[in-house]
Amino acid sequence: MPEEDWGEDFDFYDEEPRPVACMGCNNYHGQKYGENLLVCGIYPHGYQGEICPDFQDKVEVKD
């Protein structure tokens, strides 16, 4: 069976883990600017507890 070549396009190890309080939050940004990760505009480094007081559930808009 031939071995698949996955190339070097996958940067799984470069991804920052999403804080627990940010899972499913509409405010989550999660983009890197240089070496700095901006988690969200309210808590740039992420909320340190498990329940963020500014959590906003992602809502799907239906047509």
The 10 Å Cβ neighbour count of residue 25 is: 20
pLDDT at residue number 38: 95
Spatial distance between the Cα atoms of 22 and 55, rounded to a whole number of angstroms: 7
pLDDT at residue number 5: 62
* Whole-Å CA distances, 39 to 3, 29, 51, 52: 37, 5, 15, 13
Spatial distance between the Cα atoms of 60 and 63, rounded to a whole number of angstroms: 10
* Token digits of residue 29: 């940004």
Q: What is the pTM of this model?
A: 0.63
Per-residue model confidence as pLDDT tens for the chain (63 residues):
566 666 655 555 556 788 899 999 999 999 999 999 999 999 999 999 999 999 999 876 666
pLDDT at residue number 1: 58
pLDDT at residue number 31: 94
Query: Could you give the 3-state DSSP secondary structure of residue 57?
Result: strand
